[in-house]
Amino acid sequence: MSHHYSGPDFGFPRGDARLDLTDLYAFPKPGDPRKSILIMNVHPSAAVNSPGPTTAEPFASEALYEFKIDTDGDAVADIAYRVRFSSSAGGAQTATLRRVVGAQASGMGDSGKVIVEGAPVSTGPEARVTEAGDHRFFAGWRSDPFFFDVQGARNGLQFTGDDFFADKDVCSIVLEVPNSVLGPKRVGLWARTLDGAGGKWVQADRGALPAQAVFLVGDERDAYLGGDPEDDARFVAIFAHALEHAGGYAPDEARRVAGTLLPEILSYDPTRPARFPGNGRTLTDDAGDAFLAVLTNGKVTEDKVDAHRDLLAEFPYLGPPHSA
């Protein structure tokens, strides 16, 4: 189920739905290949365990939401885009977007050059978009673009094509950036959420590739969600064990496949068309099917669910929220 419900027992990291990273997307801007679109979705509108709606406040004001960009292939961020939100006042929030480069990009904190300040957060059907120089920014409730048969996954991978996310929403952060700010070649991307409610920043969730943190981390969930891609080699054995169990892989093959999934980074070359898993990820790529094929060693290759039809042809590309 992509990265939704990555906390214990299909729950939320640190018990807060607003900190739950659900998906990361990266693709060239339609009609303008000089620019790229980066999308981080968080905060599922409905819980699975126990079923029911989550909080109406889109983003946590005591949290930080980050896009991480590795430009030299060492699995360490060289660029970071950081988004901080105001507290809700009369039901409204605003966002501040900062950019940081160099050594600070791999650290924790809300410093950086301000790109956008006081951007309105959308809660209704109208997408309130903020433009700042060569950047464009959106944050707010949107229709969840991920498609997957969640109940089938929880029922021993017995899929019926029931798309759990067809009527669900997420809170989206969408950036339009010139390719020149990403670096001159292929980059590695991931996203993370930080929780500052306790007085210091603590990494609550992180991810780039669908479903890994839900199905493969086992008892190492907290360590994995709180870790960094540069240290992901320590989880190869854990992933391999899960693959042996789920897909019947032989031990050596399980370790090999686990090594292809780690470090957990989304590879993206903005000069090439995007298609998951080879290059970035578009909103219609069937990432769920791609992961099922890996998880089961080719025994299960589809969940019988197709891409959503409420996507937009223009920024911010995600459809209006169902709850609006």
User: Is 66:73 a contact under the CB 8 Å cutoff?
Assistant: no
Residue 229 has pLDDT above 90, yes or no: yes
Cα 286 from Cα 288, distance rounded (Å): 5
Confidence tier at 48 by pLDDT (50, 70, 90): confident
> Looking at residue 265, what DSSP letter applies?
-
What pLDDT, on a 0 to 100 scale, did the predictor assign at position 184? 74
And the tokens for 143?
Answer: 């229709």
Q: What is the pLDDT of residues 177-205, one digit of tens each?
A: 999 999 778 999 999 999 999 999 999 99
**CA pseudo-torsion sign 265, 150, 172, 301:** positive
What pLDDT, on a 0 to 100 scale, did the predictor assign at position 10? 85
Confidence tier at 314 by pLDDT (50, 70, 90): very high
DSSP string, 1-47: -TTTT-BGGGB-GGG-GGG-EEEEEEEEETTEEEEEEEEEEE--SEE
And the tokens for 319?
Answer: 């459809």
What pLDDT, on a 0 to 100 scale, did the predictor assign at position 193? 98
Closest by CA to 77, choosing from 106, 113, 110, is 106
What is the H or E stretch that residue 253 is in?
Answer: helix 251-261
Residue 324 has pLDDT above 70, yes or no: no
What pLDDT, on a 0 to 100 scale, did the predictor assign at position 1? 58
And the tokens for 26?
Answer: 């990266």
Confidence tier at 87 by pLDDT (50, 70, 90): very high
Report residue 59 CA to chain centroid gap: 15
Give the HSE-up count for residue 236: Cα atoms under 13 Å, Cβ half-sphere: 16
Q: What is the pLDDT of residues 131-153, one digit of tens each?
A: 999 999 999 999 999 999 999 99
State how beta strands 113-120 and 187-195 pair: unpaired
User: Is 241:291 a contact under the CB 8 Å cutoff?
Assistant: no
What pLDDT, on a 0 to 100 scale, did the predictor assign at position 201? 98
State how beta strands 169-178 and 21-29 pair: unpaired
Residue 35 has pLDDT above 70, yes or no: yes
Confidence tier at 88 by pLDDT (50, 70, 90): confident
Q: 3-state SS string over 158-191?
A: CCCCCCCCCCCEEEEEEEEEEHHHCCCCCEEEEE
Q: Using a pLDDT cut of 90, give the percent of the chain over it.
A: 92
102, amino acid identity: G
Q: What is the pLDDT of residues 100-126, one digit of tens each?
A: 999 999 999 999 999 999 999 999 999
What pLDDT, on a 0 to 100 scale, did the predictor assign at position 224? 97
DSSP string, 42-58: E--SEEETTEEE--S--
And the tokens for 11?
Answer: 């729950």
Q: What is the pLDDT of residues 287-303, one digit of tens each?
A: 999 999 999 999 999 99
Cα 9 from Cα 275, distance rounded (Å): 31
Average pLDDT, rounded, for the chain: 96
What pLDDT, on a 0 to 100 scale, did the predictor assign at position 9? 87
What pLDDT, on a 0 to 100 scale, did the predictor assign at position 217? 95
Residue 195: exposed, middle, or buried by beta-carbon count in 10 A (0-12, 13-18, 19+)?
A: buried
And the tokens for 214?
Answer: 């839900």
